[in-house]
Amino acid sequence: MTKLDSNLAWQEASAAVSANREVLAVLAGVFFLLPRLAVELLGPVPPNMQALGVAELQGAMRDFYLQMLPLALPMMAMQFVGTQAMLTLFTDRTRPTVAEAIGQGLIGALCYLAAQLLFAATLGVAGGLLIGIAGMLGLKPLVALMVVVVLAAIGYMALRLVLLGPVIAVERVRNPLHAIPRAWALAQGNVRRIFVLVALMMIVLMVIMVAGAALIGGGAALIFGAAVGRIAGAVVNGLAGAVFAVYFAGILAAIHRQLAGPSLGAVTAPFE
């Protein structure tokens, strides 16, 4: 069983991003920054949590997410395509053009979406069954316990399947029924290391987004008004999310290369 070297994965990802920053900047802008800006600027304003009661807040949040859904779904689809395209560029030894990588990204995104839907449906049925049985017994503590168990299982399984994207993009495993077991097997024995690496990246992203929105967005709102502040905050969040997406794709490619073997190609060579 191969043990993941997190430091090596980060070094390889950083080298790959640095060597190909111009191409990656274009992909990140098209597939992550622009869709994120469109959602944040064209979507509804989140409800004021401090000004609403619990019952009112629940209804307001439900309405907010329903209004956001038509914008969020296309954004997620764009991100799937962008991630698959970047993974293709990072790892394909044939050195495809950007256009070819985007084409492969589109195909990979469809397969990735199918695998995610299969994963979600399976967990939904199993989790709903456990919670439903606990509810039928009328034991509220058991229901709460089952909810915690299901959420923990979702988190664990998501980490075990974190290499699903590279399996589809790099190994060209297009069948979800084959891609899911392959990704599950690759993460064997390395879930903790993967969790720490992903968690650290998520923490850094959240700090940047919160601090950037507070400092830049808040400062712009005080000086130029709420509308300008919202735009500034959206730009900061969009840029942070785009940079995160690039490095996350590089990390996934590097992790996959370590665990699947170096014969699948290096991730540090410049794209053509």
pLDDT digits (tens, 9 = 90+) for 29-75: 999 999 988 888 888 877 666 666 666 777 777 888 888 888 889 99
For residues 192-208, give the mean pLDDT. 89
Instruction: State what percent of residues in the chain have pLDDT above 90.
Output: 37
Q: Which two tokens stand for residue 68?
A: 């956001």
Q: DSSP 3-state assignment of 240? A: helix
Residue carrying the six token digits 């840029």 = 239
Mean pLDDT, range 208-221, rounded to an integer: 81
66-117 pLDDT, tens per residue?
888 888 899 999 999 999 999 998 887 777 788 888 999 999 999 999 999 9
Identify residue 39 by its one-letter amino acid code: V
pLDDT digits (tens, 9 = 90+) for 156-193: 998 899 999 999 999 999 999 999 999 999 999 899 99
- Rounded to 10°, the helix 21-28/6-19 angle is 90
For the ranges 127-141, 164-178, 247-261, the lowest mean pLDDT is seen at 127-141
**What is the b/e burial string over 252-262, where b = at least 16 CB atoms within 10 angstroms of the residue's CB?**
bbbbbbbbbee
What pLDDT, on a 0 to 100 scale, did the predictor assign at position 272? 46
Residue 269 has pLDDT above 60, yes or no: no
Q: Answer for the pair 93, 153: CB distance below 8 angstroms, yes or no.
A: no
pLDDT above 50: residue 264: no
Compare 18 and 218 and report the one with higher pLDDT: 18
Q: What are the pLDDT digits (tens) for 215-232? A: 887 888 888 887 788 888
The C-alpha atoms of residue 267 and residue 162 are separated, in whole angstroms, by 18
Is pLDDT of 256 > 90? yes
Among the ranges given (2-6, 99-103, 235-239, 265-269), the one the predictor scored with the smallest mean pLDDT: 265-269
Query: Two tokens at 205?
Result: 């992203």
Quick one: pLDDT at residue 3?
A: 87
**Cα separation values, 161 from 158, 170, 230, Å:** 5, 15, 35
Position 53 scores a pLDDT of 65
H-helix or E-strand spanning residue 187: none
Spatial distance between the Cα atoms of 43 and 31, rounded to a whole number of angstroms: 18
- Residue 266's pLDDT is 45
**pLDDT, position 52:** 64
